[in-house]
Amino acid sequence: MIASLNGVVGEKLVNEVIIDVQGVGYGVYVTAEDFGHLKPEEPVKLYIYEYVREQAHDLFGFLARDTQYLFEQLLGVNGVGPKMALNMLSVGSGQDVRQAIASGDVKFIQQASGVGKRVAERVVVELKDKVGLVGVDLEASGLLQGESGGYKDEAVEALVALGYSPQDANKALQGVDSELATAARIKLALKNLAK
């Protein structure tokens, strides 16, 4: 596993840089912010996330370890792959993205290429308490306010607001302890829906 690369910026392509490490060029995808900081022929250290699948072996690099950690947190959200996570981290600085998640700013996250409302809302619901900032009160925000008002269960309302049918929402909540906080019930229901 490649954990980091120490080398020289060889080339800057569209959203990828070539890092020359003792004569071997590694193609590394980077965020827009990091791309702007990297200068050709200058030494650099990138923290690497290695993504291996059948037909590809991609490297994602980050100048800061905490940005890499946020990238890995985004990958833990159902429906978010490495390219989408990188797109989310490219709409602002890592701190901007963290703040948007913690404050429930779904529109900010939706600015990322390929990110729809449902995925952006899922990112907020699943990560708002994990990004290291004070999170938004989901019950006070629109994420837990059902549009139709026909549901008594706030967790069902939230899942419906995320785009699931009332039937799927109720099914996903079966077996989830109703005494848990609403946000915790939503997280467990989303895990059930991902199965």
- The full set of domain ranges for the chain reads 4-62, 65-127, 142-194
Closest to 162 (Cα-Cα) out of 124, 188, 108: 124
Quote the CA–CA distance of 58 and 112 in Å, as a whole number: 20
Distances (CA, A) of 117 to 12, 50, 67, 107, 140: 32, 28, 23, 8, 19
- pLDDT at residue 182, rounded to an integer: 81
Name beta bridge partners: 57: 52
Fold classification of 4-62 is OB fold (Dihydrolipoamide Acetyltransferase, E2P) (2.40.50)
- pLDDT at residue 146, rounded to an integer: 41
Q: Which alpha helices (H) appear in 114-163, and where do they start and end?
A: 117-127, 154-161
- pLDDT at residue 167, rounded to an integer: 72
CATH of the structural domain 65-127, one choice from 1.10.10.970, 1.10.150.20, 1.20.140.10, 1.10.10.10:
1.10.150.20
- pLDDT at residue 129, rounded to an integer: 79
- pLDDT at residue 85, rounded to an integer: 93
- pLDDT at residue 191, rounded to an integer: 82
Quote the CA–CA distance of 80 and 88 in Å, as a whole number: 10
Quote the CA–CA distance of 39 and 43 in Å, as a whole number: 9
- pLDDT at residue 84, rounded to an integer: 93
- pLDDT at residue 177, rounded to an integer: 81
- pLDDT at residue 45, rounded to an integer: 95
Q: Using one digit for the tens of pLDDT, what is the confidence trace for 62-94?
A: 999 989 999 999 999 988 999 999 999 999 888
Cα dihedral 167/168/171/172 (nearest 10)? -150
Parts of the chain with a pLDDT under 70: 132-152, 195
- pLDDT at residue 152, rounded to an integer: 53
- pLDDT at residue 136, rounded to an integer: 45
- pLDDT at residue 1, rounded to an integer: 84
DSSP-based three-state secondary structure for 46 = strand
Structure tokens at 64: 């800061």
- pLDDT at residue 132, rounded to an integer: 65
CB 93 within 8 A of CB 64: no
